[in-house]
Amino acid sequence: MMSSKTKRARSALSSEGAFNRHKFISKDAADRYRKLVVKSSVIPERGLAPCEVHQPQLFQNIMQRGWSDFVKQPEPAVLSIVREFYANMVEGSSRSFVRGRQVSFDYGTINRYYHLPNFERDEYDIYASEHVDVHQIIRELCQPGAEWVINPGEPIRFKSSNLTVSNQVWHKFICAKLLPVAHTSSVTKERAILLYAIATKRSVDVGKVIQKSLCNIRKSGMTGGLGHSSLITALCRNEGVVWNEKEELVDPKPIMDKSFIMEIPGWSFEPMGAGHCDETAGTSHCNKTTDAGHNDEPSDQDEAEPIREVRQTLTIDLPRQTQRPLSLDEQIRRLERRVRSYHRRSEERFDHLYKCLFALHDRGVMHVFPPRMQPYVSSDDDS
């Protein structure tokens, strides 16, 4: 005898096309799920949390835009929910159906979720609809020497490694949250225009950008991946969509915080001043000293001096040096010998200095030692 559970499962299948009516709104949606959606990978989202002191331009841009909630590290996405959302999207509309619930993704709904304003027409949209100066864009966003890849006669992309460090961070964020893409090695023209708008402080209607992106993903057949996964999961939860705890989750990528940004090649150390970093969820805040007679630097002068000297090192203009600067390898080898020779006399200070300089060397930003440190790398070590 057939169990009641089996009867319910079979009754959920349409005799017309054998699709699960509990999951899909039509046979077309079921076919789309089977042929396209399950073959597409989910693009994880990620958050952005720069430090107010170490990355002030990034921090201030976020604060001025009111993006504090938007840039927070997202929650994990539910894989099956994301897939069903894309399979059941109604073409030409801003809604989908997931497990019997209608889920809207119009720009107003998205902006409300992120606590962002709606724009009648934002500056990014105005700029993108006008004649775009691609040469100005690449000059603004990139290091000198960057060039567009032309095909045929039309600029289509350039290497993301040509971006300045802050713009590399914004590009990674755009590729995870606004215009999702799995591979970030190239900057397409579309993403370059959005990046330019963000970098030049133009207003951006986040809801409109994401709504358009969701529709484009659906139109493209999901060939580039399933983006906005954490947002979709959150919108479905808000509409009462239910799933069980055993369903597969998609974790977000690691948050781009102070440490992440400092590891990007080419990052420049910015003096901290008086203060310390309080890295909490969301944007990292650096608490500045309010008492003029007090600061948060280490009280042990032997430990603090090497840090200040390393900071001063980064401001030295190499072409002004009267003598040929030592190569990085030479500097490090000499420092290592000196650290070992002085190790017994001042173990704590030299060990700290050694680690600090090697960390900077690993990031490729150490060029020459300041005068006060020259005794530790003197030329008599070459003999």
pLDDT tens readout for residues 360-381: 555 554 444 444 444 544 444 4
Does the residue 279 lie in any domain?
A: no
pLDDT at site 63: 97
Mean residue pLDDT of the chain comes to 79
Range of the domain at 92: 19-259
% of residues, the chain, pLDDT over 70: 66
Q: Are 124 and 74 contacting, i.e. CB atoms less than 8 angstroms apart? A: no
For residue 157, give Cα distances in angstroms to 124, 191, 248: 19, 9, 35
Shared domain for 87 and 190, answered yes or no, is: yes
Closest CA to 135 of 115, 119, 155, 163: 155
Of 18-27, 75-84, 208-217, minimum mean pLDDT range: 18-27
Does the residue 273 lie in any domain?
A: no
The two structure tokens encoding residue 282: 């969301």
pLDDT at site 339: 55
pLDDT at site 362: 53
pLDDT band at 356 (very low <50, low <70, confident <90, very high): low
In this prediction, residues 64-76 reach a mean pLDDT of: 97
pLDDT at site 20: 86
Question: Residue 132: phi, psi to the nearest 5?
Answer: -90, 130
DSSP line for 70-93? TTSPPPPEEHHHHHHHHHTPPTTS
Residue, of 21 and 98, whose pLDDT is higher = 98
pLDDT in tens, 242-289: 999 999 999 999 999 999 999 998 887 544 333 344 444 445 444 443
DSSP 273: -
Shared domain for 255 and 310, answered yes or no, is: no
pLDDT band at 18 (very low <50, low <70, confident <90, very high): confident
Structural domains counted in the chain: 2
Shared domain for 106 and 204, answered yes or no, is: yes
In this prediction, residues 47-55 reach a mean pLDDT of: 92
For residue 235, give Cα distances in angstroms to 53, 242, 344: 34, 12, 61
Instruction: Kindly tell me if the per-residue pLDDT of 126 is higher than 80.
Output: yes
Shared domain for 240 and 366, answered yes or no, is: no
DSSP 275: E
pLDDT at site 1: 52
Does the residue 274 lie in any domain?
A: no
Residue, of 79 and 340, whose pLDDT is higher = 79
Using only C-alpha atoms, what is the Rg of the chain? 27
Element (H, E) at 186: strand 186-188
The SS3 of residue 379 is helix
In this prediction, residues 121-137 reach a mean pLDDT of: 95
Shared domain for 232 and 307, answered yes or no, is: no
Shared domain for 139 and 215, answered yes or no, is: yes
Does the residue 272 lie in any domain?
A: no
DSSP 42: B
pLDDT band at 54 (very low <50, low <70, confident <90, very high): confident
Does the residue 293 lie in any domain?
A: no
Of 255-269, 313-327, 342-356, minimum mean pLDDT range: 313-327
Instruction: Kindly tell me if the per-residue pLDDT of 33 is higher than 70.
Output: yes
Shared domain for 224 and 129, answered yes or no, is: yes
In this prediction, residues 200-210 reach a mean pLDDT of: 98
Shared domain for 242 and 133, answered yes or no, is: yes
Instruction: Kindly tell me if the per-residue pLDDT of 122 is higher than 90.
Output: yes
Question: Residue 209: phi, psi to the nearest 5?
Answer: -60, -45
